[in-house]
Amino acid sequence: MAEWLYVIVLGILEGITEFLPISSTGHLIVATQFLPIRDSLTGTFEIFIQLGAVLAVLAHYRTELWHQFRTVQSNDNTQQLWLGIVIAFLPSAMLGLLFEESIAAWLFRPTVVAIALISGGLMFIGVERYVTATPDDESSVDDRPLTMQQALIVGVWQVLALIPGMSRSGMSIIGGMMAGVDRQRATQFSFYLALPTLGAATIYTLLRNISHLNSSSLGLLFLGTLVSGIVAWASIGWLLRYVARNSFIPFGYYRIVIGFVILILHFIL
């Protein structure tokens, strides 16, 4: 199979899993163990094509983002929303920079991904069953932003997503729910939080590794980004419709099952 076809497959996988609380990076780490991607892309590909998810959020929320940009000086809700996003972004950004090499060296492994998937699945089931849920009231984070304390709690939970397999979207959604935010607004906040989190990670990774990439490698990265962006855009709409009527428990069970499958395959193969 041609390498560009592998990249399309991985782009589709990234687009489907980025915003679902099942860890896109974890799935990509495992997938690249079985798909022969060139060494120069290893580690870079999993991070860079998250840019597609950033573009998907920009496309999905383009009307809201443009309105926020035009009214930010006079709209207290917009100011509070984006101050909260900055607060939620900083913990994982600072710790990610501080422990970048250790994370890449020790955590980008299928066994770590499997354990993190299982652990996160148990968290989702526990939160949905035992944490008192705040009823969804159809309001959005644009109209009713998170408080600074809630945003900080989300940021602390997102730190766990530095472990591949935990899921950035999953941990930020759990953090929001633990902070008393309803499921729908917690999910919306997670989408907005993806803009600085994934955007910064993508730019940083590209700048760190650009000297090792040639025109062919860059072409594959941008192909994967395009595919993941299109699929992620569709995933955002689906997930928003899903959380309006359903819990995250099925995702918890999926994470547990796929985690054990990865462990079994790892020890068999």
H helices within the chain, ranges in order? 3-17, 24-32, 44-48, 51-60, 62-71, 76-98, 100-106, 110-130, 148-158, 168-178, 183-209, 215-243, 249-268
pLDDT of amino acid 215: 79
Which residues have C-beta within 8 Å of that of residue 263, sequence separation ≥ 6? Answer: 111, 114, 115
CA atoms within 13 A on the CB side of 48: 24
Please choose, from the candidates 4, 13, 7, the residue with its C-alpha nearest in 3D space to the C-alpha of residue 232. Answer: 13
Whether 155 contacts 89, CB under 8 Å: yes
pLDDT of amino acid 125: 96
Low-confidence ranges of the chain (pLDDT < 50): none
Please choose, from the candidates 160, 193, 207, the residue with its C-alpha nearest in 3D space to the C-alpha of residue 26. Answer: 160
Distances (CA, A) of 11 to 16, 18, 159, 214, 223: 9, 10, 25, 20, 8
pLDDT of amino acid 37: 63
pLDDT of amino acid 91: 98
pLDDT of amino acid 238: 95
Residue whose entry in the numeric block shows the structure tokens 């840019």: 51
pLDDT of amino acid 67: 95
Please choose, from the candidates 121, 92, 110, the residue with its C-alpha nearest in 3D space to the C-alpha of residue 25. Answer: 110
pLDDT of amino acid 118: 98
pLDDT of amino acid 39: 54
pLDDT of amino acid 151: 98
**What is the Cα 52 distance to its own chain's centre?**
11
pLDDT of amino acid 137: 67
Whether 11 contacts 232, CB under 8 Å: no
Whether 123 contacts 179, CB under 8 Å: no
Which residues have C-beta within 8 Å of that of residue 14, sequence separation ≥ 6? Answer: 24, 27, 28, 49, 50, 52, 53, 224, 227, 228, 231, 232
pLDDT of amino acid 116: 97
DSSP string, 67-78: HHHHHTTT-HHH
Which residues have C-beta within 8 Å of that of residue 177, sequence separation ≥ 6? Answer: 127, 131, 133, 134, 183, 186
